[in-house]
Amino acid sequence: MISSRIKNMTPSATIEITEKIAELKKAGVEIIAFNIGEPDFDTPENIRNKAKEGLDLGHTRYTPAAGTIELREEIAKKLYKDNNLKYTYKDIIVSSGAKQSIMNALLTLCEKGDEVIIPSPYWVSYIEMVKLTGAKPVLVQLEEKDNFSLDIEKINKSITSKTKCIMLNSPNNPTGSIYNEDQLLQIGNICVDNDIFILADEIYEKLIYDGEKHISIGALSDKIKGKTILINGVSKTYAMTGWRIGYAAGPKDIIKAMTDLQGHMTTGPNAPAQYATLEALQNTEQAVEIMVKEFDKRRKYIVDRLNSIEGISCNLPKGAFYAMPNIKSFYGKSYGNYKIGNSMDLTNYLLEEARIAVAPGEAFGISNNIRIAYSNSMENIEKGMNQMEKALKKLK
Ligand SMILES: Cc1ncc(COP(=O)(O)O)c(C=O)c1O
């Protein structure tokens, strides 16, 4: 009854956890959620007001399939101002979240027999999205000891005549690493030489710390830009996860094909949300600055706390809002009926014993770590870390 396309999808390693959280919550147990990749802040007020204005002005009908020209022009301005990239509105498509833009791009470029290179650890959805197109995900393992920076040699070696594209996500979910200009230039030139497309997922672009700089790979040369489909959106930067607005910019023919696909799949994204996004892009710099400062404070606190727990080591992430502590030293330990053999076991243990929800590394292609989203209040982070420390001390 169910198609092989869907049957071939691997259920997310976090589904089991999500169900357990729901059961515990139903039973009245208070769980602190560090497993969800979304800002805890409300969408800034000026953006909410713009949406209300949009409704009153009648922005309630279908828009062009690629999004309104007004919004695409605003995105083009943003890409020029922030990323040093020249695009016209015709090179841009607005989708229902960055997720849809990524899926559009993959369905437009890839088919059975193709290979797509994905540096690992990776964002969970990449693998399943690639598989849905019929193409094969080819994982390139990056190393914790190198702060999960791009391993150019390994990537180069994984290229075959079937390689169609590479997925780059910087700042990275889940590792928090940021790829530097030199690495991006090398990868970009390799892709140009081998006729490989680059899906540059820049959704965490503004969430960077310690004076780090975000670089768009497409800005490094015209040839690289010609092979790049840039992905971005408003979910993370403007605390707008539920509004479902993302976008892609790239070569005209590819964006046109993505638009044809989107036209049949969903049509243009939510009209009032598109209108409100104009405000997000034009007038929200200060609110973003405040959020980033707060994330930075939490980042430093949580990494300090994690490193002070015996048995844990945690790199300082440079971007996004995730910490990925190494928890391998707990493997083989137990407490009561709990036996820890992998990151899923530890995730379950922390849920039941520490009342905190984290995400197991297995979900992101890494076995010795867990992912903790610090997009939660300082109060919850402090409480959660206390509970975690106490629970981990019990493991012998
Ligand atoms: C790396 C990465 N890309 C894309 C997305 C999707 O964002 P959107 O909410 O715009 O669909 C996420 C969300 O978790 C993400 O972590």
Which residue lies with its CA nearest to atom 16 of ligand 1? 173
Average confidence (pLDDT) over 163-187:
97
Does residue 12 register a pLDDT over 80? no
CA distance 76 to 53: 23
241 ligand 1 Cβ < 6 A: yes
> Is 299 close to ligand 1, i.e. is its CB under 6 Å away?
no
Q: Are residues 235 and 329 in the same domain?
A: no
* Per-residue pLDDT, 244: 97
Instruction: Verify that 52 and 130 share a domain, yes or no.
Output: yes
Render pLDDT for 20-58 as a digit per residue (tens, 0 to 9). Answer: 888 888 899 999 999 988 899 999 999 999 999 999 999
Half-sphere exposure of 126 (CA within 13 A, CB side): 26
**From ligand 1's centre to the CA of 97, what distance in Å?**
7
pLDDT at residue 393 above 80? yes
C-alpha–C-alpha distance, residues 41 and 236, integer Å: 10
- Ligand 1 pocket, residue 175 CB under 6 Å: no
Least confident of 6-20, 92-106, 160-174: 6-20
- pLDDT bracket for residue 193 (50, 70, 90): very high
Q: Quick one: which atom of ligand 1 is closest to the CA of 233?
A: 10
Q: Where a domain ends, among 231, 262, 283? A: 283
Mean of per-residue pLDDT scores for the chain: 96
Q: What is the pLDDT of residue 257?
A: 98
Count the domains in the chain: 2
Same domain, yes or no: 8 and 153: no
- pLDDT recorded at residue 266: 97
Q: Which two tokens stand for residue 139?
A: 């994982």
Together in a domain, 111 and 227? yes
Domain that holds residue 115: 45-283
Which pLDDT score is estimated for 316? 96
Mean pLDDT of 171-197: 97
* Count of beta carbons in the 10 Å neighbourhood of residue 278: 18
Q: With the CA atoms of 182, 188, 194 and 199 taken in that order, what torsion angle do they form, in degrees rounded to the nearest 10?
A: 140
The yes-or-no verdict on residue 11 having pLDDT over 80 is no
Ligand 1 pocket check: which of 75, 93, 99 to mutate, most ligand atoms within 8 Å of Cβ?
99
Residues 372, 386 within the same domain: yes
Q: Is 235 in the pocket of ligand 1 (CB under 6 A)?
A: yes
Rounded mean pLDDT of 250-271?
98
Q: Is 70 left (phi over 0), alpha (psi -120 to 50) or beta?
A: alpha
Same-domain status, 84 and 155: yes
Residues 71 and 210 in one domain: yes
Find the CATH number of the domain harbouring 332.
3.90.1150.10
Q: Which residue is it, tokens 């015709």?
A: 90
Atom of ligand 1 nearest to the CA of 100: 11
Ligand 1 contacts CB of residue 97 (under 6 A):
yes
201 lines ligand 1 (CB under 6 A): yes
Whether residue 203 has its Cβ less than 6 Å from ligand 1 = yes
Is the pTM here over 0.85, yes or no?
yes
341-378 per-position pLDDT tens digit: 999 999 999 999 999 999 999 999 999 999 999 999 99
d(CA 68, CA 93): 9
What integer pLDDT is reported at residue 16 of this predicted model? 72
Q: Which of 241, 260, 283 is the last residue of a domain?
A: 283
Predicted local confidence at residue 312, as pLDDT: 97
Would you state the pLDDT for residue 18?
A: 80
Provide mean pLDDT across the span 55-72: 98
Residue 10 pLDDT: 83
| Residue 181 φ/ψ, nearest 5 degrees | -60, -40
* 135 and 248 in a common domain: yes
Residues 319 and 276 in one domain: no
Average pLDDT over residues 109-126: 97
Q: What's the pLDDT score for residue 238?
A: 96
CATH of the domain at 62: 3.40.640.10
Q: Is any atom of ligand 1 closer than 6 Å to the C-beta of 149?
A: no
Q: Give the phi and the psi of residue 289 in degrees, each rounded to 5.
A: -55, -45
Last residue of a domain, one of 250, 283, 316: 283
Instruction: Identify whether residues 122 and 229 lie together within a single domain.
Output: yes
Q: Whose CA is nearest to atom 14 of ligand 1?
A: 37
Task: Answer yes or no: do 291 and 278 share one domain.
Answer: no
| Structure-block tokens of residue 191 | 């892709």
The CA-based angle 266-270-274, given to 5 degrees, is 125
**Is the beta carbon of 169 within 6 A of some atom in ligand 1?**
yes
Instruction: Write down the pLDDT at residue 86.
Output: 98
Residue 322 C-alpha to ligand 1 middle, in angstroms?
Answer: 13
Let me know whether 133 and 243 are in one domain. Answer: yes
Asked whether the beta carbons of 137 and 106 are under 8 A apart, the reply is no
Q: 270 CA to middle of ligand 1, Å?
A: 17
* pLDDT-above-90 percentage for the chain: 93
